[in-house]
Structure 1
């Protein structure tokens, strides 16, 4: 990993409030498929699914702890929190947009402002934290993201 990339990773770790044991997981979580197609590297796709599952679990628990006891109420509130706009807002609040590795076309079309891309990146980051530090660390991070 180059010095420039390490600075970027250290910076986002500070932003996220989580120090990765394996920084390559974070680097991969920040790498879009378009970028990886151009640079032959791994991308965030494989982390998005596990990140989505962990997000659902943590947000469901959070809703229950906040007094929501019916499946309908929990589902509605969780859906609001985890939909693209909600995750994109978290990404913007954390200031991760300038850390995401975009392909040339994505840069030209300013995809870094896309709620879809930002939500997928937040899912991938949640997945990377889970793989790096386990469920409790991921739960703490997600709670911080949605409490701020």
Structure 2
């Protein structure tokens, strides 16, 4: 099978050339483009999630040999969650190579976080099936880069920290409200407000509701910790 120019360029960005190009084609094929003769990437996504998990588990153990399971778990979650996979996908412009149905393409599928995250996991599985675990691990660690070293700070969930701060002062849990949702369906922007019963509050915006809540909690946490 001869790869398209887009997929050859993706190989270059991945730093890996496929012996079985059909695996890469399948990895970038969304379910909106599947047919009886064309498989989508869902089964590869399932496998890639597990390969990524093993690679990150080993990397975290190697990076911090004294960390407890309780310390490792949130770091692991931060490295393998869909948002992180989508960020890596954006780094290599995976969206440009995706095979999408017309409706998915028209709704901005090449930029959708869930779709990019799923495709990144599928690409990982494709490399694993094509070349084995060692090559897949090398590619993952290269693409994730400094994220493994910096994950301790990233893994500190500001929502959890803010709730613990409130509990320690016998306050009810922080309350999160959607203030505004703007932008088109394929690129929404959420404005979230978080409030404490003592009257303190903060707002933040992001393309992800979850990230907006975390950013608002981080801003409010910084405010209360200053005081």
Q: TM-score, length-normalised on structure 1?
A: 0.92
Structure 2 segments unaligned to the other structure (5+ residues): 147-227
- Cα distance in 1 for partners of 2:7, 2:105 equals 20
Alignment RMSD: 1.5
Which runs of at least 4 in structure 1 moved beyond 6 Å after TM superposition? none
Indicate if the aligned counterparts of 2:48 and 2:121 stay in contact, CA closer than 8 A. yes
State how 1:1-148 maps to structure 2 within 5 Å. Answer: 1=1, 5-37=3-35, 40-67=37-64, 69-147=67-145
- Cα distance in 2 for partners of 1:131, 1:40 equals 20
Q: Once the 2 structures are TM-superposed, how far is the Cα of residue 130 of structure 1 from its aligned partner?
A: 0.5
- Cα distance in 1 for partners of 2:105, 2:38 equals 18
- Cα distance in 2 for partners of 1:40, 1:130 equals 23
Structure 1 segments unaligned to the other structure (5+ residues): none
Aligned residues: 145
Higher relative contact order (CA 8 A, sep 6+): 1
Q: Once the 2 structures are TM-superposed, how far is the Cα of residue 108 of structure 1 from its aligned partner?
A: 1.2
Q: TM-score, length-normalised on structure 2?
A: 0.61
Which structure is higher in helix share?
A: 1
Deviation per residue, 1:55-110 (Å, 9 max, x gap): 00001111111105321222111111111111110000111111011111111110
Which structure is higher in strand share?
A: 2
- Cα distance in 1 for partners of 2:20, 2:37 equals 20
Query: Aligned to 1:112, what secondary structure does the other structure show?
Result: helix
- Cα distance in 2 for partners of 1:90, 1:120 equals 11
